[in-house]
Amino acid sequence: MRTDIDQLLTDMTLAEKLGQLTMAASSYAVTGPVIAGDSTQAIKDGTIGNLLNMIGAGPTHEMQRLAVEESRMRIPLLIGLDVIHGHRTLFPIPLAEASVFDAAMWELTAREAAKETAADGLALTFAPMLDVSRDPRWGRTAEGPGEDPWLCTQIARAKVRGFQGGNLASEDAVAACAKHFCAYGPVTAGREYASVDISERTLREVHLPAFVAAVDAGVASMMPAFTDLAGIPMTAHRPLLNDYLRGKLGFDGVLISDYNAIGELLKHGVAADLVDAAALALNAGVDIDMMSDAYRRGLPIALERGLVRMEQIDASVRRVLQLKERLGLFDDPYRRGARRETAEALEKRRRLARNVAARSLVLLKNRNDTLPLAASVPRLCVLGPLADAQAEMCGPWAAAGYEGPHVTVLGGLQNALPNTKIRYTAGVAIADGDRGGIAHAVDLCEGADAVVLCLGEAHNMSGEAASRAYPELPGQQGALAEAVFEKTCALKIPLIVILFSGRPLIVPWLDEKADALIAAWFLGSEAGNAIADVLIGRASPSGRTAITWPRALGQVPIFFGERPSGRPASSKDYFTSKFLDVPNEPLYPFGHGLTYGRCTYANLRAEPASVTENDTITVRVDVTNSGARAADETVFLFTRDPVASVARPLLELKGFARAMVPAAATQTVELTLKASELRFLGPDLAQVFEPGTVEILVGPCADRAQLLSTSVRLQA
Ligand code: GLC
């Protein structure tokens, strides 16, 4: 049944309209001039129409009842939550999941997260986060898709499809919210919420594409970033929100401010009071005011002063009501959460969580095939502050999932190796200065056949408001690692390090000393079982890092898509683009990740040799696995335009393919590339397709030395 939105708009008072443009947290808020405490009376008065941070069908249905049965206009609530990487069943953090390079998997985990979210009575998630990041100091790198804009577009599409499903009114669909629009990732010095100042070209080539993809995929809502862009805060950025998003891209969804972001326009120094702030945000196109109360308190005065028009308020209210209508909330506000999920569905989801976790970890190093361990390994020593740390396994943004249970490394190994004698101690805490437990940890190595050392960050050392100036091992973990390394050398037993983090850590020492090194990021509810599966070879490691790992913080920002220097380090001259004290190469390039096979590439060919814009290029390469075990290989396709009307990136990611290559076998892997994907922004930032030769490069990661290269000719 269609809702008569026109009639609602006619009948609503200004206060009720502004209620529909207000979103309040159900719990007390502490950040500034925000709505705090209990919203129930406001819901009955119709002066709050949306909520966030509420969990559970009980509480959400109670709030819906107040709105649809006790308020005058009976408009259902839109209730949202940050479901960033799973809800009650936690999947790997987005930076980890980006490593699977599998769009179907990205979509599936979002679909499953949507089912749990909707089962809790929620109709909106503030995800996917699509901020490209090239600075590991920034804590929110953990929440995003890594460094590459093209990869980010693939993830954007998959996540929007997954969260929203085929029918937004379905009981298991939730509205997605593409965030944070835009260019939040390049905050100054990687410091959270700091100012952003980048070129128009970088904005368009790097930070906008994922949001364009999200709009193409039909994303229902978007969230502007807290940050400014060259002096204009995104929450008040009329050219990008109104003119570009709504005007050029035709985005007709709802723009939801970030938490108190409208109120923070005062801190940005572009608004003298909440009236100014409310007018700036509404004029820019922001529909819902999350938590600053600027719209309810400021817009009536802004109307009187002629700073805004009622038509603008009505247009925003209409978009909010249309979203509620599309979500089926008018038809049945209790649809989401009406049915509990079955035990089978939950068990199946945990199996998925285990599978995607095993595929998200990245085997960074595996000297002399240290891994996999024999399943019959008699004695293991498991050490480190992250070895038996349930709460840490979920990583940042795990609102509902904290209840666990999350499987730790120790738990996973005990499950996988019931006949193995496993000894454990943390040795040190994650971050404090106490070294007292190191001696005992070292002693525990005696008699072991291998040591598994679990190190890294706590779950809250990345994510929001968690920038780190020294993105390294915290506390005394380095001292523990050195002591354990010395002991394992003396005992001539392998040292296997599992590294937990929400970002690439600066760990050249671990790269040098560990026999095997795994980036486990934060893998969610089934972390320990997934890690154990890979350690004993029940699962094959296939993850490929979606972000470059710096060798030194001084290299940051370091990413494969950099534009060339006029004095490249490759030339033997003294005066070249280099550091005196560290090589230019990263510790691990984008796409790096080992399998249990050993793949080499040969016989790259691209057809046809010459193409026009409407053609498709077919690229084939032979992948040979000379290893003794099957390889779950990811093959990347890059391009390089060596001569163009503007300097083009040294490498551009344009595709990937996964191939299961059996031991001692060769497989031909095929990738296709539309020639139109080779368009770029010319000197005047207009899209161009330029005739000329373009390199096609294929290989295991964004290290040119490991790529095979051929070329195609572009014809006008
Ligand atoms: C936070 C985050 C945003 C989140 C919102 C609601 O501050 O910046 O990503 O969706 O507030 O929790």
**Whether residue 124 sits in one domain with residue 34:** yes
Query: Which residue puts its alpha carbon closest to atom 12 of ligand 1?
Result: 82
At 575-612, the pLDDT tens digits run 999 999 999 999 999 999 999 999 999 999 999 999 99
For 360, list phi and psi in degrees, rounded to 5. Answer: -90, -25
411: enclosing H helix or E strand: helix 409-416
CATH of the domain at 620: 2.60.40.10
At 124-138, the pLDDT tens digits run 999 999 999 999 999
**Whether residue 519 sits in one domain with residue 398:** yes
> Does the Cβ of 268 fall within 6 Å of ligand 1?
no
Q: How far is the CA of 257 from the centre of ligand 1 (A)?
A: 9
> Does the Cβ of 126 fall within 6 Å of ligand 1?
yes
Q: Express as a percent the part of the chain with pLDDT over 90.
A: 93
Identify the band that residue 31 occupies on the pLDDT scale cut at 50, 70 and 90.
very low
pTM of the model: 0.97
- Ligand 1 pocket test: which of 82, 235, 257 has the largest number of ligand atoms within 8 Å of its C-beta? 82
CATH of the domain at 286: 3.20.20.300
Q: How far is the CA of 206 from the centre of ligand 1 (A)?
A: 22
Q: How far is the CA of 553 from the centre of ligand 1 (A)?
A: 28
End of a domain among 502, 524, 555? 555
Cα(547)–Cα(564) distance, integer angstroms = 19
Q: How far is the CA of 554 from the centre of ligand 1 (A)?
A: 30
Q: How far is the CA of 164 from the centre of ligand 1 (A)?
A: 19
Instruction: Answer whether residue 632 shows pLDDT above 50.
Output: yes
Q: How far is the CA of 39 from the centre of ligand 1 (A)?
A: 19
At 54-77, the pLDDT tens digits run 888 999 999 999 999 999 999 999
Q: Hunting for tokens 């960033």 — which residue is that? A: 84
Q: What residue numbers bound the domain in which 14 lies?
A: 5-326
Query: Which residue puts its alpha carbon closest to atom 6 of ligand 1?
Result: 259
CA-only gyration radius of the chain, Å: 26
Average pLDDT over residues 335-352: 95
Query: Which residue puts its alpha carbon closest to atom 8 of ligand 1?
Result: 258
The domain total for the chain is 3
**Whether residue 370 sits in one domain with residue 289:** no
* pLDDT the model gives residue 32: 39
Contact 457, 385 (CB under 8 A): no
Closest atom of ligand 1 to 226 CA is: 8
Instruction: Choose among 523, 517, 710: nearest CA to 619.
Output: 710
Contact 509, 552 (CB under 8 A): no
Q: DSSP labels for 515-538?
A: SEEEE-----TTHHHHHHHHHTTS
477: enclosing H helix or E strand: helix 477-491
For 79, list phi and psi in degrees, rounded to 5. Answer: -120, 125
Closest atom of ligand 1 to 259 CA is: 11
**Whether residue 316 sits in one domain with residue 367:** no
In a domain, 336, yes or no: no
Instruction: Answer whether residue 35 shows pLDDT above 90.
Output: no
- Ligand 1 pocket test: which of 85, 126, 184, 286 has the largest number of ligand atoms within 8 Å of its C-beta? 126
At 474-500, the pLDDT tens digits run 999 999 999 999 999 999 999 999 999
Identify the band that residue 401 occupies on the pLDDT scale cut at 50, 70 and 90.
low
Say how many residues make up the chain: 716
At 526-552, the pLDDT tens digits run 999 999 999 999 999 999 999 999 999
> Does the Cβ of 143 fall within 6 Å of ligand 1?
no
At 223-241, the pLDDT tens digits run 999 999 999 999 999 999 9
**Whether residue 238 sits in one domain with residue 321:** yes
404 CB-near residues (< 8 Å, 6+ apart): 390, 391, 394, 525
> Does the Cβ of 82 fall within 6 Å of ligand 1?
yes
Cα(348)–Cα(112) distance, integer angstroms = 10
Secondary structure E strands in 378-480: 379-383, 421-425, 450-456
Contact 443, 486 (CB under 8 A): no
Please report, as a single letter, which amino acid is at residue 39: S
Residues with catalytic roles: 258
> Does the Cβ of 259 fall within 6 Å of ligand 1?
yes
Q: DSSP labels for 253-290?
A: SEEB--TTTTTTHHHHTS-SSHHHHHHHHHHHT--BEE
In a domain, 570, yes or no: no
Q: At what angle do helices 310-326 and 274-284 cross, to 10 degrees?
A: 60
At 446-458, the pLDDT tens digits run 999 999 999 999 9
Q: Hunting for tokens 């809250």 — which residue is that? A: 460
- Ligand 1 pocket test: which of 122, 130, 258 has the largest number of ligand atoms within 8 Å of its C-beta? 258
Alpha helices in 563-655, H assignment, sequence order:
none
Contact 585, 568 (CB under 8 A): no
Contact 225, 234 (CB under 8 A): yes
Query: Which residue puts its alpha carbon closest to atom 1 of ligand 1?
Result: 259
Q: How far is the CA of 394 from the centre of ligand 1 (A)?
A: 18
Query: Which residue puts its alpha carbon closest to atom 10 of ligand 1?
Result: 126
Closest atom of ligand 1 to 179 CA is: 9
281 CB-near residues (< 8 Å, 6+ apart): 235, 236, 257, 262, 265, 289, 294, 295
On average, the pLDDT of the chain sits at 96
Instruction: Answer whether residue 306 shows pLDDT above 70.
Output: yes
Q: How far is the CA of 223 from the centre of ligand 1 (A)?
A: 9
Cα(667)–Cα(672) distance, integer angstroms = 16
> Does the Cβ of 464 fall within 6 Å of ligand 1?
yes
Q: Three-class SS of residue 127?
A: coil
Chain centroid, CA 635 distance in Å: 21
Average pLDDT over residues 630-647: 98
Contact 531, 387 (CB under 8 A): no
Q: Three-class SS of residue 655?
A: strand
Cα(487)–Cα(443) distance, integer angstroms = 8
C-alpha pair distances (Å), 182 with each of 161, 187, 600: 21, 11, 39
**Whether residue 613 sits in one domain with residue 467:** no
Q: How far is the CA of 542 from the centre of ligand 1 (A)?
A: 31
**Is omega for the bond preceding 182 within 30 degrees of 0, making it cis?**
yes
**Whether residue 216 sits in one domain with residue 77:** yes
> Does the Cβ of 179 fall within 6 Å of ligand 1?
yes
Closest atom of ligand 1 to 180 CA is: 9
Q: How far is the CA of 258 from the centre of ligand 1 (A)?
A: 6
**643, burial (CB in 10 Å: exposed 0-12, middle 13-18, buried 19+):** exposed
**Whether residue 374 sits in one domain with residue 242:** no
Closest atom of ligand 1 to 80 CA is: 6
> Does the Cβ of 264 fall within 6 Å of ligand 1?
no
CATH of the domain at 544: 3.40.50.1700
Instruction: Answer whether residue 522 shows pLDDT above 90.
Output: yes
339 CB-near residues (< 8 Å, 6+ apart): 119, 171
* pLDDT the model gives residue 3: 80
- Ligand 1 pocket test: which of 55, 79, 129, 259 has the largest number of ligand atoms within 8 Å of its C-beta? 259
Q: How far is the CA of 290 from the centre of ligand 1 (A)?
A: 9
In a domain, 571, yes or no: no
**Whether residue 252 sits in one domain with residue 203:** yes
Average pLDDT over residues 502-514: 98
Query: Which residue puts its alpha carbon closest to atom 3 of ligand 1?
Result: 258
Q: Hunting for tokens 């008072």 — which residue is that? A: 13
> Does the Cβ of 397 fall within 6 Å of ligand 1?
no
* pLDDT the model gives residue 423: 98
In a domain, 338, yes or no: no
* pLDDT the model gives residue 402: 62
Cα(452)–Cα(52) distance, integer angstroms = 41
Identify the band that residue 675 occupies on the pLDDT scale cut at 50, 70 and 90.
very high
* pLDDT the model gives residue 33: 40
Instruction: Choose among 641, 686, 633, 638: nearest CA to 661.
Output: 633
End of a domain among 527, 555, 583? 555
Query: Which residue puts its alpha carbon closest to atom 7 of ligand 1?
Result: 259
Please report, as a single letter, which amino acid is at residue 199: S
Cβ count within 10 A of residue 337: 22
Contact 656, 542 (CB under 8 A): no
* pLDDT the model gives residue 2: 79
End of a domain among 555, 589, 615? 555
Cα(292)–Cα(297) distance, integer angstroms = 9
Q: How far is the CA of 670 from the centre of ligand 1 (A)?
A: 40
Of residues 391 and 557, the one with the higher pLDDT is 557
Cα(38)–Cα(493) distance, integer angstroms = 59
**Whether residue 688 sits in one domain with residue 639:** yes
In a domain, 405, yes or no: yes
Instruction: Choose among 320, 326, 453, 436: nearest CA to 385.
Output: 453
> Does the Cβ of 457 fall within 6 Å of ligand 1?
no
- Ligand 1 pocket test: which of 131, 464, 467 has the largest number of ligand atoms within 8 Å of its C-beta? 464
Instruction: Answer whether residue 403 shows pLDDT above 80.
Output: no
In a domain, 564, yes or no: no
Query: Which residue puts its alpha carbon closest to atom 11 of ligand 1?
Result: 259
Identify the band that residue 28 occupies on the pLDDT scale cut at 50, 70 and 90.
very low
In a domain, 520, yes or no: yes
Q: How far is the CA of 291 from the centre of ligand 1 (A)?
A: 11
In a domain, 332, yes or no: no
**Whether residue 276 sits in one domain with residue 364:** no
Contact 413, 422 (CB under 8 A): yes
> Does the Cβ of 533 fall within 6 Å of ligand 1?
no
Q: How far apart are the first and last CA of the chain?
A: 52
Please report, as a single letter, which amino acid is at residue 520: A
**Whether residue 318 sits in one domain with residue 365:** no
* pLDDT the model gives residue 37: 64
Q: Express as a percent the part of the chain with pLDDT over 70.
A: 97
Secondary structure E strands in 6-160: 22-25, 50-52, 78-81, 124-125
Closest atom of ligand 1 to 129 CA is: 9
